[in-house]
Each structure stands twice: as structure tokens, then as C-alpha cells.
Structure 1
């Protein structure tokens, strides 16, 4: 580690870059920042273009989707007309984005937010506000708004209302309210304008939106007030976070990214804000992640509790209990953000990010059998109770019935945590988490938090699962647990057996598994999920959550210094504003997959807390 750098910090990186390049009309995925309001989220490229925005909700059809089709998807371009370099940051403690454009003739700062309404005024249903400030000189600017409703399927109808352009399609309408930002010009399906950002001036562009309700056209002062209120609201939330350990800046940014994925109307937490961003260019691993996965539930609740997010923890837990009730005792792999289970997968007629098709909405994994989800659910309930919360009688009864269900189902082959679309297998991590499900049920029953009418059966099947895993899922040659019964393949998800307590950290087999995964799947800071094929075309990058799981496993097995070194490397892999996608290409550092990826940020928080505890 360089002299003068303390663990938990990274060497300062120059966030200023030359004019961000696009390849075939597409920005690099690493170039995207995200803003949101607890209901939806937008991706903004380094060149100032809004290339993704689903309205009214995170999982709704899009208004802008240029990241998936730069011709048909729609976007909101705002940038200097002359060559420029950019520097970006979030306003400290917020999800309000600042992009500074530096040109030969002056400097301009762009501030972007999806505003959070206050209670003092009639606000639009949703609103994007973009403020342009001249900081030095005089910079020629241009902007262009090309909305394309319904994932680009519907050409908008354009009219002028009270001097403002209004685009509409069916029940959806969005207005363009611009002040000191040039004279709008109307073309087919778009509005454009040019203006000069002189030093000391401020221009403002707002996009108020309505869905099946009257469209409110705000005054400039109202938009400015909401922009300020939004920044203050985020700062107050961040100031209340209790984490004070190493890598504080990265943990708080991860917390803010996670908060953007919390769907405020229900309490659900989405896996990511986007769909179909590819895990490999031109491959078919393009999935819709705008759902809430049971797989992520224990990490989610644990992160909320460790960060002092009690309202989010309670809201998420009760959403999870409500959603899972609809299919009890069987769990769906994922649920819609409103708690529904219907998520049919279909393909959209979009060209895909840099030609990566298919572009999908919905997710067929919803109907798979994934046994690990039962362990995640029971671990989540166990964490909730260890934080001092109580379970009502109905939830307690259902959790006991879930344990009974695991007793009858754990012997089944399943799709596993990675949701393979080939034949089911007896995945080791699935069996480990089935053991965790019954172990947590036994503990809850012993503490009289759930009915104990079948505790003896849970203990019997818990022993049977351990026997299966230790006899059929361990390789003496590798001195490691393996991906599935009878195989010699390794899988980074085996690290979760340690993280979630299948075996204690001093268990020789778990320690051997950590070493084997390092040897076979780790390359510097990068950890692959597995090496074997899974029936899908195309390769993939290193799975970032797995890298953080390894860092946590190292800390838990007494290798805190090694864990801290790996953590420093991983924190440095974030983009310029501290965000992560699902995967990284180890050869180029390019982001791959949907973003911001909730599981990656959750794994970062969990690893940072575990390493901090190990150091202490």
C-alpha cells in the first residue's frame, strides 16, 4: 500500500476526463451515473445525456432508453456545442448529480435530480430538473429532448400548452418547461434549443410528468425549491447513517445507491434500475433486473440494520412477508415491486446496447425452483428478530410451515442461485442454504418466536442435509466444497456457506474452500462465478459481488490484512461517482450488466462491516 494511505481510503483519482467518447452512439456503461426519487431512476452519461428513464415507476416502460437503442430509444441531450472535458460528483451526501463541463471559452455546471416533492405545493407526479450554471466565460450550449414512450414503441403526440411543449401517448404526458435556456424549436417527435451559458447566469429545464392524472406545469421557483429540498432530504438521510468504519465513503455511496433501489410505495428493493444491459457484448445474457429477489433479502436486511436504516428494514421485511404470502409455502425467485408474481418474459424490438440482443422485459426465472431462497428468507426473519423485533402469530406460523416445506423439498434438484436455464442440478449452495433455513427455524423455535411443533423433524432433516453436503459435495482432492453433488467444479457462491453460517469460520473444509476458490476463480481483485458452461451463449466478466464475498470470507477466517488489501482494490474499481455494475471485464475494466447493481453494493457494505469488525 502506498505510503500515507490508510486502510479504507483510496488514492485520489482525477475525476476530470476528456470529452466522453461514444461507440456507435453508445456511452461506456462505466460512464453512467444514476439519480432517483424512491419511485424511479434515470441514467445520465458522462456527456450529460439522459439515456434511461422509466416512468412513472422503476419497472415501468421507458420514456428514454437510448442505452438500449440509440436511434429508437429516446434521450435528453444537454451539453456544450464546443469540445469539452468533464468532471462529475454527487453533491455530498445526496443522489443529486453535478457535471462540470470545461471548455476553451468557459465552464458550466449541470445539476441533475429527480425531485422529491415537498408537502407545501401541488407538484407533478414525477419531475426531472436540470439546472445549468455559467461558472466562467461564455459557453454555447445545446439541448434536445426526444421522448419515446413504451420502450420506444410509441411515437409521441406533440402540442403546445401555455407556452410549453407537451408530449403525450395514451395516459402518459410529459412537458418541457425551460427558463433562460433558449427558444425551443419543434421538430418531428423532439424539441431542441441553443443558448449561451454566461458567467453568473442560471438556466433551468424541468420535465414534469403525469400518468393517468392531470399534468401540472410548475413555476420556475417551485422547481428550484424542489431541487434544493431534494438535496436537503438526501443529506438528512445520509447524516442519520450509523456506519463509522473503514471505507466510509464507499459504504455511504453504496447506501445511497441502495436507497435509490428501494421502491418507496411498497418497501421492495429492486436488484437494479435497468434491464438487458449485457453481461457480454453480443451475448444473450441480457436480463431484466427491475424485480426484488429473495436471494438478496438477507444481505438487504442486514445492510439496513448495520447502517441504522430502521424504517427501511421494517418496510422491506413486511413487504417480503406480504409478497411471499401470495405463494406460500413455495417461494418465487423474484417478485414485482408491488409484490405480484406475474413476470412473463418477452423480447422488445430494440437493437440492444451496442447490438447486444435480445432486449428483455420480465424474467422467466420467476418460476424456477431455487432452494437457496428458503434459507435467505429464514435468515432474514432471524436477523429481524435478533435486532429486537417481534413476529406476529401469522408470520410465525408461516415461517414454521416454510421450514416444514424445506424438509420435503431439499432433496430436489434446482436451478441454483445463478438461475441456470439448463437442467436442474443438486447445487451445493442450495443445500447449504436449506440447512441454514432449518437451523434458523430451530433457533426461532427455541426462543419461542415460531411454533415448535416440528422442531425434532427440522433437526433431523438438518442433519441429513449436512450429511449430503459433506459426503457428496466435498472433494478431498481439491480440499473444497464443489459446485454440485459429484462434480469437480468450483463456484464462488460456496463462499455464502461461510458468510451465512453453514459452517463456522474455523471449519477446515470452509477454509479449504476459500483457498480453492482463490486458486481457481480469483485473478487479482476479480472473482468469476464459475468456470463451467451453463447452456447460454457468450462469456461473462468477473462478478463483483463474488469479489466482495471473498473479501468478507478472508476477514471471517482470520485473514484481515489480506481482506483489507483486496477491499482497497475493489473500492478502486468503482466508476468516478462510486457506482458499480454487476460485472467488470478484467481485461479492460469495462462495466458489464445492469446498474447500479444492488447485490454488488450490498456485498460491499457487508464486506466492509466484516473486515472492520475483524480489524477491531
Structure 2
């Protein structure tokens, strides 16, 4: 159980790391250690924000349970679940808030499209002394309000429908205030689905939700270092999964800054092909293969409907909305602009070919099959990759400067051709595996010759002279483009670790001053890149160093076990959208590799035979 920590705000804002995540496969919410709801969009991940006080403490709306004179608190999950517990202590007493988005009894999270109930349920109990508890709900943009008995009904303009707030304890004034003594309990329920019914037994509803989560998490592998943290990462990834169709959003939030006061503030509530592919790969490695099939179907439908692969879609598989700037909100700790929508959906990024084909490969390696239509769609993407790799694009980091021939993009086209050839041979599927193999080998040779900088002693970001260092190239061994112990990969890993070092085991993904990206300004250290470094050390046989680095990176997780996109290396504060799927993917991947190495096993035996 986590330790008690003082409640401290920075420029009036609760720090990002002082939040946990709950969700139901349709949407999710950040819940603060102070009882606030820092970010909530309904009815879906990518809907307008109902409340987002993390983006403006005054104009971002509120859904708070407050404790008078609260001094310290702690936060943790019910083990094996997405149910969050927050305990808040004042001089007079201690209360416990149990937060959940209830799931339907008997739901199977790997295949149930409608497990959620459109409800946020908060159970409150005074566990010691007494407390004065305040209840406040103010949707962003305001709302008309009606009271009917114990119900508060609101029609919120940003939501476009009726919200219903119910409480088991009468609130004679609004916002509500109630005085409670030790042993007193009540619940608060916010519902947004039409026809939603109040919980007759809130404790039973939470208990059923716990059972549903544990049926799913019981399939997670056990023999990994930091097992509890690995399982928490898997549950976090599932909380970012849109159960209805298999889409997986990159993060739970929008516009949280990559540097305080900077302008790198993007909307991540959409499904990036790359991020989702990494996610299903991570889930498969720890015992959950079903998510790969759902994502593969979703992404191929999205590609077909959009007339070709795009890097990011909304969760319906349409192009993400065009970026807009919200002038009403000041941004987290006054870091503006606040953006909604994401223009990356209109960028060209050739790595998507490899992401999709590798996901198909992983799916097949664990027993998945392809009908004729599915294979033809994959084959069409393979043929496109044969020429796409030579053309400039905007790369994995989605630069907003002119397109360039990024090495990572070329490498992922190599992955597309390699996986298609192996699938065709292994499953006797129609195609030209010999030509695909030859093209894949040619791309690999070109990477080794054209991306290599003999002065830097590293592979660089571009398939041309003059490129800067790019930590994404540490992912090449993970995708089996090059082995981690290849001399040029060993040298690249060493140079990246030295020159992109942010301290404390963290790495910058690149240096904007040396690799201009069209955005400007500095950013934090990118969490995923540190885990990629761990994976390379394992592949080089440097297990003790990898384990030590892995331990340092795990230390950055907040008490509930969540990780952001980036970290301020000078303070350890969280930066960027939170929690970030790719950071948890990296933690899972490194834990699996270290666990296998400790047992003397190959890094990835479950698909090893497919590479012979």
C-alpha cells in the first residue's frame, strides 16, 4: 500500500503524478489524490471534455469530493483491477473514496463490446474520526440544473445530453456539503447513458466490477520482475482500449504539456496505428493474444475506409479531427495552447506498413488465421511498402518540418516485407515471398550503409548524410530489423545512451536543436526510450546492467503504478499526456525480456520458430 503524502499544488494545480485512472472500455477518467476528477470525457475517450480542471482550474469544470482541511492522502488500486482507492486525511479524520466505472456482471473484457454502463460510481466512507465532505459537479461550459428528490439532473452544452447525478445521502444545498462520522458511508453516481438506473447496492456493483477485472487479469503471466507493476501496466493498457471495436487510444488526455510553459501540447485521445500495434504486441507477450485480432480488424477497416494507411484515426476509424486551439483554457500550469484534435492524421508516415504487418504476424504466431479478404488487404499494404520506404515522410515523432527519409520509417517497411514473406511461406498464402525477402534484405543493407555516420559511430535519423541521433533506432532489434549485438547496433546504443542522456536512466528521443522538428522549444525525457535501452542491453547479454536500468525506470511510476509520456529529468515531475500507453508497453517489454533472460530462455520463444 502506498505511503501518505502531503497534498501540494503547483501554480494551483495538483501534479499529474498525483492521479490514478479508471475506465470502462468506452471512456476513462483521471482521479486526483485530493478527490477531484482531473479529466473526463463522455460518452467516449474522444468526446468533448465534460470536466478538465487539469487544463484550467477555474474554467475547466469540476467533479470533486472534497475534505475540509485535507492535509495528506494516498492512492492505490484494488489488486488486479481498474478500481481505484483514495484515502484522504485531515486533523479530524480519514475518509476513503473508492472510484470505479462499473462493468456489467459476467462481462469478458477480451471480447465484450459493451461491458461498460456509462457510469462513474464513487463510494465514500469515514474510516476514522469525522469529516465534512463537499460534493461539486460543474460541467465545463455550464449546465442547466434540475433537482428531483435525491437526483440532480444537468443538461450540459458540451455533452449534448442529460447527465444525472445521484447520491445516497441527501444534499439539501448545492453544491452539496455533508458532515459524517466514523462508520458513515454514502455513494455518488454520475451517469450519462440514456435510461441508466441508480445502483440499488453500490457495494455489490463495485464487487462485480472487481470480479470482471480479475477474470481478465488472471490470464496475465506471473514470472516477470516487478510483477505487480507489469500487471498494472497491462490493466492500464486495457483501460485505454475501446472495447466496441478494438481501437486503442494513445493516452487518456489532451494538451498536457511536454514542457511547462512550452507549446508541445497535443491531443492523444485517438488511436495511433503505431501505438496500438505496440500495445497489442505487449499484451500478447504477457498472456493476452485476443486483443491483437480485434485491433487488426479495426485498423484494416480504417485503412480501407480512408483510402490508404494513415497514422492516426478516431476510435471509429475515421480521420482524427483537425486541430483547434481552445482559447478559453489556460492550460496545465498555464502551459498554453490547449489543443483538441490532431493534424498528424494528415501526415505521411511510412512506418504504418510495418506496424500493421507485424501485428498480423504476431496474431498468426499465436493461432490467428486469415481469410482471403484479410490477406489481400495485407498483401496490398506489403506491395505499397516496397516503394514507400524511399520516399520522405514525417517519421515516428511526427515532425512538423518538411518531410525527410527517416531511417525508422524505412526499417518498418523492411518489417512489412519480412513479415509478409514469412506469413506467405508459413501459411501457404498467395504472393511473392521471394521478391519480398529480397526487398527486405536490400532495405536492411541500405540502412546499414546510408544511415551510418562514421563520425558519430551511430545509425542516424535519416537515410542520408547529416542526420542527428534518434532514440527510436533502439527499437530496431525489437522489430528484428537488426540484432541487438550487431556491431553497428552496439555502437548506436552506446552513442545514443551517451549523447541523448537525460540523467537518472532517462533518454531524450532526439535533440530538437540538432534535429529541427518545426515545433521549437525543449521537451522532457521520453519514458519509452529508456525501456528501449534496457531491451538492447538484454539483447547484448548485459543482463545485470539491463536489470539495474530497469529498476531505475520503474522507480518513476507513481504510487498507483502509472507512467506519463515524458518526465522532467531535473525534478522527476510528469510531463505530457498521462497515462501514456507506450510508456507502459516499454515497461512490459523490458520486464518480459529480463524475465526470460533470467531463466536462460530466448528473448521471444513464442514466435521464435516463425523466424527460422
Q: Same fold (TM over 0.5)?
A: yes
Q: Is the 8 A contact 1:135 1:199 kept in 2?
A: yes
CA shift for structure 1 position 124 = 9.7
User: What SS does the corresponding residue of 2:175 show, helix, strand or coil?
Assistant: strand
User: What SS does the corresponding residue of 1:229 show, helix, strand or coil?
Assistant: helix
So what's the TM-score if we normalise by structure 2?
0.92
Structure 2 counterparts to residues 227-266 of structure 1, below 5 A: 227-266=206-245
1:428 matched to 2:407: yes
CA shift for structure 1 position 291 = 1.1
1:130 matched to 2:122: yes
Between 294-303 and 510-519, report the one with greater CA deviation.
294-303
Deviation sequence 1:187-217 (CA, Å, 0-9, x none): xxxx31222221111111111223xx34x35
Q: Is the 8 A contact 1:278 1:593 kept in 2?
A: yes
Equivalence for 1:308: 287
Equivalence for 1:558: 541
Equivalence for 1:507: 486
Q: Are residues 237 and 119 of structure 1, via their aligned partners in 2, closer, same or farther at CA, if it must alter by over 3 Å?
A: closer
Distance in 2 (CA, whole Å) between partners of 1:25 and 1:550 is 36
Q: Is the 8 A contact 1:378 1:440 kept in 2?
A: yes
Deviation sequence 1:118-138 (CA, Å, 0-9, x none): 379x99951111111111111
Distance in 1 (CA, whole Å) between partners of 2:185 and 2:150 is 20
Distance in 2 (CA, whole Å) between partners of 1:38 and 1:128 is 13
Equivalence for 2:508: 528
Distance in 1 (CA, whole Å) between partners of 2:522 and 2:58 is 27
CA shift for structure 1 position 81 = 0.7
Distance in 1 (CA, whole Å) between partners of 2:341 and 2:397 is 17
Equivalence for 1:174: 163
Distance in 2 (CA, whole Å) between partners of 1:420 and 1:582 is 17
CA shift for structure 1 position 459 = 3.3
1:594 matched to 2:577: yes
Distance in 2 (CA, whole Å) between partners of 1:177 and 1:40 is 20
CA shift for structure 1 position 464 = 3.2
Between 578-587 and 395-404, report the one with greater CA deviation.
395-404
Equivalence for 2:322: 344
CA shift for structure 1 position 14 = 5.3
Q: Is the 8 A contact 1:108 1:197 kept in 2?
A: no
Equivalence for 2:447: 469
Distance in 1 (CA, whole Å) between partners of 2:181 and 2:370 is 60
So what's the TM-score if we normalise by structure 1?
0.91
1:40 matched to 2:55: no
Equivalence for 2:564: 581
Structure 2 counterparts to residues 404-415 of structure 1, below 5 A: 404-415=383-394
Deviation sequence 1:138-185 (CA, Å, 0-9, x none): 12222222122xxx3xx21111234411111364111221123x5242
Equivalence for 1:218: 198
RMSD of Structure 2 on Structure 1 (CA): 2.0
Q: Is the 8 A contact 2:143 2:155 kept in 1?
A: yes
1:62 matched to 2:58: no
CA shift for structure 1 position 257 = 0.4
User: What SS does the corresponding residue of 1:401 show, helix, strand or coil?
Assistant: helix
Q: Is the 8 A contact 2:326 2:337 kept in 1?
A: yes
Q: Is the 8 A contact 2:259 2:523 kept in 1?
A: yes
User: What SS does the corresponding residue of 2:94 show, helix, strand or coil?
Assistant: strand
1:457 matched to 2:435: yes
1:90 matched to 2:73: no
CA shift for structure 1 position 449 = 4.6
Of 108, 115, 118 in structure 1, the residue corresponding to residue 105 of structure 2 is: 118
Equivalence for 1:325: 304
Unaligned runs of 5+ in 2: 108-113, 600-612
User: What SS does the corresponding residue of 2:192 show, helix, strand or coil?
Assistant: strand
Distance in 2 (CA, whole Å) between partners of 1:466 and 1:184 is 70
Structure 2 counterparts to residues 4-15 of structure 1, below 5 A: 15=3
Distance in 2 (CA, whole Å) between partners of 1:129 and 1:404 is 50
Distance in 2 (CA, whole Å) between partners of 1:24 and 1:141 is 24
User: What SS does the corresponding residue of 1:252 show, helix, strand or coil?
Assistant: helix
Q: Are residues 514 and 124 of structure 1, via their aligned partners in 2, closer, same or farther at CA, if it must alter by over 3 Å?
A: closer
CA shift for structure 1 position 568 = 0.4
Q: Is the 8 A contact 2:319 2:345 kept in 1?
A: yes
Q: Is the 8 A contact 1:245 1:612 kept in 2?
A: yes
Q: Is the 8 A contact 2:123 2:188 kept in 1?
A: yes
Structure 2 counterparts to residues 151-170 of structure 1, below 5 A: 152=141, 155-169=142-156
**Count, aligned residues:** 585
Between 545-554 and 347-356, report the one with greater CA deviation.
347-356
